[in-house]
Structure 1
Amino acid sequence: MSIVKNIFSHTHALRLLIVRELASRYRGTILGVFWLFLQPLMMVVVYSFVFSIIMKVRIPGMENSYHFALYLMTAMMPFFAFQDALLAASNSLFVNSSLLHKSTLPVIFLPLVPMLTTVVTETIALVIIVLATFLLLEQVSYYLLLLPFLVLIRLSLSIAIGYILATLSVFIQDLRQALGLLLTMLMFLTPILYPVSMIPGEFIPVNNLNPLYHLLDAYRAIILRGELPGVGLVYVGGFSVVFLFLGIYFFQKTIERAREFV
């Protein structure tokens, strides 16, 4: 509760830091923050063209020529947000080493700010995907109102793991080098590029333990299938909350020691 009060007492500073973080990514570019909209839009167009027009990839039950591209993007965009949050958190103490030692801002903000910015990029991407689903598949559902809840769960899971990575990366610097590879492996091990029906039966129980599978399938259920997510989302929500407390607790216990190494 003290952490929550601390965050709310610095909401103005937190908002300014998020704006600064986003602006710094596109400083010096001609299009500026317009890239926030252009990047996901171009990905939807390119994936739709490559997989639907050139490769003509189909999934049983999804016969529309654009369905596979949207099927892919609906899961990839939240995963990219998750990936970006973890990579940013693992570098946050190194990038902000001066703030870590001199700033009066709560040190818990340093990993939090870049992880919160992923909500902005993910939201823009999801809006574009929802519009593309409506235009290409002529499909829309009232269940789309549940999307902010999914984004919140995704963010909670990112923050939980991100806080652990923030200090672990200080003590084990090889972790920062390996994290990109580990996240790539996770993407291929999670049914993102292929349907869960392609997983051999003996590996299904292992896949069901993967919280990202249930979370990303919930995005697909709401956007593409127009239905409520399965009960696996309850498992993901509970897992995220428990892990969030563990992540924050770990960060608090290790941050003072981590200061000595940054």
Structure 2
Amino acid sequence: MRFAWAYRDFVLSSILTEQRVRFAGSKLGGLWMLLHPLLEVSMYALILSSLMGSRLKGLSGPFSYAIYLTAGSVAWSLFSEIINRCLGVFTANAHLLKKISFPAMCLPLIISGSALVSNLLLLAAVTVIFGLVGHLPSLKMLVLPLLILATVAFALGLGLILGTLNVFMRDIGQIMPVVLQFAFWFTPIVYTIEVIPEPYRWIYQFNPMFQIVSAYQAVLVFHRMPALPGVLAVLLSGVVLIMLAMLLYRRARPEIVDML
């Protein structure tokens, strides 16, 4: 990752520029980064709170389901944004990749950094909202940096592999949003794991985002330590995927430029 340090100023300035340009001309500006996910959560909460609220063990109150839903959504939004944007990281920047001197591997870092900035602002807003409705933060939130790191590493590694393959098989870019939608419902975000019949719950252990989302919910909702072995397994998987992605890109770079 020496190239990342060598081009750190370029990456940081690109992240800041992207944040400024993203909502240029909008009267609400960066507030849309918070409003979009919060409005989506509000819609789910309005529809499902009466059905799912009573199933939350260890949490009660009129906002219990909304708190549970929001905690999982914060984790998922970071993961899904990185994946979706990495899918087109090379196809959308073909004009830059054809410049030999351009540090192409900085592109996924810019994407991840921009998504991370947006997610941290969302997390800060969510923490304030939780406090206003009486659900105060706890010291367990100190483990959140580890959860965020695991999410970013796994999403970046997987997204970069998919983005590289998408150059050669454009159907990947079309099918992945459908796969992500399926994965969203396969992760206990809008429902609790308790609604799944016990004989089938073991299947969820094979979903890496189950480990991450459950950890976010443990910290933000139930104020307890998450299952760290599962989180560390996702982090390690992310590191391995990043290494594989970089190897795949290096070997495929000449063909990528030709295909673009």
Deviation sequence 1:81-135 (CA, Å, 0-9, x none): 2111111111111211111112623111123312221101111111122222222
Distance change >3 Å, CA 149–CA 204, structure 1 → 2: same
Deviation sequence 1:55-100 (CA, Å, 0-9, x none): 6843232321111111111111221221111111111112111111
Asked if residue 29 in structure 1 is aligned to residue 26 in structure 2, the reply is yes
Counterpart residue identity of residue 60, structure 1: L
Q: What is residue 174 of structure 2 aligned with on the other side?
A: 177
Question: SS of the counterpart of 2:88?
Answer: helix
Q: What is residue 221 of structure 1 aligned with on the other side?
A: 218
Percent sequence identity over aligned pairs: 24
Could you tell me which of 225, 233, 236 is aligned with 1:235?
233
Q: What is residue 255 of structure 1 aligned with on the other side?
A: 253
Aligned residues: 258
- Is 1:74–1:219's contact at 8 Å kept on the other side of the alignment? yes
Instruction: Measure the CA separation in 1 of the matches of 2:52 and 2:191.
Output: 14
Point out which structure has higher relative CO (alpha carbons under 8 A, 6+ apart). Answer: 2
Question: SS of the counterpart of 2:89?
Answer: helix
Q: What is residue 54 of structure 2 aligned with on the other side?
A: 58
Q: What is residue 203 of structure 1 aligned with on the other side?
A: 200
- Is 1:72–1:192's contact at 8 Å kept on the other side of the alignment? yes
Question: SS of the counterpart of 1:115?
Answer: helix
Unaligned runs of 5+ in 2: none
Question: SS of the counterpart of 1:102?
Answer: coil
**Cα deviation, residue 46, structure 1:** 5.2
Counterparts of 1:1-262 in structure 2, within 5 Å, are 4-43=1-40, 49-52=46-49, 57-61=53-57, 62-102=59-99, 104-230=101-227, 231-262=229-260
4+ residue stretches of structure 1 with deviation over 3 A? 37-52, 54-57
Deviation sequence 1:171-196 (CA, Å, 0-9, x none): 11011111110100000111111111
Q: Which is worse superposed, 190-199 or 26-35?
A: 26-35
Question: SS of the counterpart of 2:103?
Answer: coil
Instruction: Measure the CA separation in 1 of the matches of 2:89 and 2:147.
Output: 25
Deviation sequence 1:19-51 (CA, Å, 0-9, x none): 222223212222222323443454555555554
Instruction: Measure the CA separation in 2 of the matches of 1:111 and 1:189.
Output: 26
Instruction: Measure the CA separation in 2 of the matches of 1:7 and 1:56.
Output: 44
Instruction: Measure the CA separation in 2 of the matches of 1:29 and 1:154.
Output: 30
Instruction: Measure the CA separation in 2 of the matches of 1:45 and 1:184.
Output: 18
Unaligned runs of 5+ in 1: none
Instruction: Measure the CA separation in 2 of the matches of 1:79 and 1:247.
Output: 22
Distance change >3 Å, CA 45–CA 174, structure 1 → 2: closer
Instruction: Measure the CA separation in 2 of the matches of 1:252 and 1:70.
Output: 43
Deviation sequence 1:153-209 (CA, Å, 0-9, x none): 111011101110111111110111111101000001111111111223333222111
- What RMSD over aligned residues (CA atoms) do the two structures have, in Å? 2.0
**Cα deviation, residue 238, structure 1:** 2.2
Instruction: Measure the CA separation in 1 of the matches of 2:183 and 2:35.
Output: 27
- Is 1:64–1:137's contact at 8 Å kept on the other side of the alignment? no
Question: SS of the counterpart of 1:254?
Answer: helix
Counterpart residue identity of residue 261, structure 1: M
